[in-house]
Amino acid sequence: MFPSPIIAAPMAGGTTTTELALAAQLAGAFPFAAGGYKSAEALAAHIAPLRAAGGDFGVNLFVPRTGPLPSGDAAALERYRRELSADAEALGAVVPAVSPPQEDPRSTDYWEEKVELLLNEPVPLLSFTFGLGPAALVARLHKAGTRVVASVTSVPEALAAAETGVDALVVQHSNAGGHSAAFLPPSGAGAPSVLELVAAVRAAVGLPLAGAGGIGTAATARAVLAAGAEAVQLGTALLRTDESGARALHKDALADPQFSETAVTRAFTGKPARALVNGFVRRHSATAPNAYPEVHFATAPLRAAAAAAGDREMLNLWAGTAWQSAQSGPVADVVKGFLAGL
Ligand SMILES: Cc1cc2nc3c(=O)[nH]c(=O)nc-3n(C[C@H](O)[C@H](O)[C@H](O)COP(=O)(O)O)c2cc1C
């Protein structure tokens, strides 16, 4: 299913550059392009060199929420916008009073136009996160020759994903950096690590699996493969590489011992995501509402101003729990290091 046991995760928001994906592919990993936050036009440009290279690769899309924000969350969003105004003022930014309307393609992350693009000009593999692609769409993608992968964070999500006819699952543990792929409310305590989660999903579903979340060393990767995954998906391990488009502020923070922990927070986007704990995470995690992408749009001007000002205390410094193992240097060295240690 995956031609390599090492997968370079899709990392939207600028981290996965075309150069990162190509270098990972050349070094022997299966590369993902990041479709999230991109228009169809921007996605087409991002993947054109991967198409031209002629190798196997994947594209990842965010599945948008259907329907409006529940009213309780909408009220919490209003309170949160007011709460953010002090930070905004300090940065010389303004919290937008409203989110893009439903008819604005940004509100669904350009879902319709990107799906149309990928049906008309198929790619080898498409993965979804934040939700499931409908079974009818999975069937159309198969007809177009595209393998389809769902991202899941629990056994119930894995079972629901299998129902849609996908070919494989990315099994993401909450140790992962960046956004959680979760689309169902969590039930129970959750698996203590990606190992246990992969083993639990392995026992429940017959599909090929890739494990993800907190995999910082080849030894952990080996253990995840032994637990029943055929590949591991690495995100944080690639964040500091030369080809990564992460900001220098972000790359430096990952190597700075002043940051001593990560936490899962809705503070930046309204969706749970794991980041280095900074001032923004401390101030807002308890109150940030369950409102994605509305909170993403509300904090966007703050994050832009913080980046321009070099203020890492206000930035979303995505990081998985194994962030201290992330190395700088060429992506090929990281990929080859993992492959050699399997
Ligand atoms: C900066 C960053 C951006 C990410 N963006 C995406 C994304 O666009 N789509 C996606 O499916 N997963 C995304 N992820 C999650 C990865 O696919 C993967 O599950 C995660 O990085 C694995 O955990 P690790 O970071 O501990 O290696 C992102 C992760 C990071 C760190």
Give me the pLDDT at residue 189, please.
85
Give me the pLDDT at residue 94, please.
97
Give me the pLDDT at residue 185, please.
93
CA distances 66 to 63, 184, 253, 292, 298, Å, are: 9, 14, 36, 11, 19
Q: Residue 244 corresponds to which amino acid?
A: S
When computed from its CA atoms, the radius of gyration of the chain, rounded to whole angstroms, is 19
From ligand 1's centre to the CA of 230, what distance in Å? 18
Sign of the dihedral through C-alpha 129, 132, 137, 141: positive
CB neighbour burial string for 187-202, b if at least 16 within 10 angstroms, e if fewer: eeeebebbbebbbbbb
Q: Are 97 and 31 in contact (CB under 8 A)?
A: no
Give me the pLDDT at residue 135, please.
98
Give me the pLDDT at residue 187, please.
81
Give me the pLDDT at residue 214, please.
98
- pLDDT tens readout for residues 188-247: 888 899 999 999 999 999 999 999 999 999 999 999 999 999 999 999 999 999 999 999
Protein residues whose CB sits closer than 6 Å to any atom of ligand 1: 9-12, 15, 34, 36, 60, 129, 151, 172, 175-179, 181, 212-215, 233-237, 239, 318, 320, 322
Give me the pLDDT at residue 295, please.
98
Give me the pLDDT at residue 9, please.
99
What is the residue extent of each domain of the chain? 6-66+107-246+326-341, 68-101+260-316
| Mutation test residue for ligand 1: of 7, 11, 217, 250, the one with most atoms within 8 Å of CB | 11
CB neighbour burial string for 7-16, b if at least 16 within 10 angstroms, e if fewer: bbbbbbbebb
From ligand 1's centre to the CA of 11, what distance in Å? 5
Question: Quick count: other Cβ atoms within 10 Å of Cβ 46?
Answer: 18
Please state, in angstroms and rounded to a whole number, the distance separating the CA atoms of residues 58 and 152.
17
DSSP 237: G
Phi/psi for 183 (5° steps) reads -130, -5
In terms of C-beta density within 10 A (0-12 exposed, 13-18 middle, 19 or more buried), how is residue 337 classed?
A: middle
Task: Tell how far CA 277 is from the center of its chain.
Answer: 18
From ligand 1's centre to the CA of 192, what distance in Å? 19
CATH topology of domain 6-66+107-246+326-341: TIM Barrel (3.20.20)
Sign of the dihedral through C-alpha 120, 123, 124, 130: negative
190: left (phi over 0), alpha (psi -120 to 50) or beta: left
Give me the pLDDT at residue 266, please.
98
> What are the average pLDDT values for consecutive 10-residue runs of the chain, which has 342 residues?
98 98 98 98 98 98 93 94 97 96 94 98 98 98 98 98 98 98 91 96 98 98 98 98 98 98 98 98 98 98 98 98 98 98 98
